[in-house]
Structure 1
């Protein structure tokens, strides 16, 4: 029996999960499912021990290659989330600035400063 096969199957399902369109509406759900799969795969990885058969080594190399692609897609997802958070912060800032434009202005009413030297 191939001990790497369940790990391969989970990794493949993780890859398929990241291939679908991920937007702000379903991102939280996708990340939750992805995290569950990572935990499940981690438990399976801890359970296997050498020696490995030739088939298991081949499948293991395939899993490593798939994992590199998954990491790149996760980085892209993380950057998209980070950019969205920056946009939200900028929008909050501009909304606050619009509602109270003189909040951050330093005002010296009634005070005269002589600039001459």
Structure 2
């Protein structure tokens, strides 16, 4: 007999994998919110998962360990995607600023100033 909390943990982990696979920028805010809610649910489920485990639960636990590695990798990839998107956006902002005001970052060293006028 496998506890319902272990089965729900497995289901939530698979949902995290599914949601994190969607990397479109239009749906990113919704995906982040869903992932956050799913991780919160897993935290609540973790309190119900404690020894002693049955033989079936041990076997399921081994597959959950593999699934957990996949979840960690998927979330890391998702974080990298977000980070690269933020970097690209900041780069675009700087490019637009330099296009609007091309002389903003010109060095003034060696410029002659007439102080007698």
What CA distance in whole angstroms lies between the structure 2 residues aligned with 1:109 and 1:98? 26
> What is the correspondence of 1:96-107 to structure 2 with a 5 Å cutoff?
96-107=97-108
> What is the correspondence of 1:1-117 to structure 2 with a 5 Å cutoff?
1-3=1-3, 4-19=6-21, 21-107=22-108, 108-110=111-113
What CA distance in whole angstroms lies between the structure 2 residues aligned with 1:8 and 1:71? 14
TM-score for both structures, normalised by structure 1: 0.84
Task: Give the deviation of 1:11 after TM superposition.
Answer: 1.5
What CA distance in whole angstroms lies between the structure 1 residues aligned with 2:81 and 2:18? 19
Report if the CA contact (8 A) 1:10-1:37 is conserved: yes
SS at match of 1:25: helix
The aligned length equals 110
What CA distance in whole angstroms lies between the structure 1 residues aligned with 2:95 and 2:55? 60
What CA distance in whole angstroms lies between the structure 1 residues aligned with 2:42 and 2:82? 25
Structure 1: stretches of 5+ with no match in the other structure = 112-117
What CA distance in whole angstroms lies between the structure 2 residues aligned with 1:75 and 1:14? 12
Runs of 4+ in 1 over 3 A off after TM superposition: none
What CA distance in whole angstroms lies between the structure 1 residues aligned with 2:112 and 2:99? 22
Report if the CA contact (8 A) 2:23-2:81 is conserved: no
Report if the CA contact (8 A) 1:15-1:66 is conserved: no
Q: CA RMSD in A?
A: 1.6
Once the two structures are superposed, residues 8-44 of structure 1 have per-residue CA deviations (whole angstroms, 9 ceiling, x without a partner) of 122122222233x321111111111111111111111
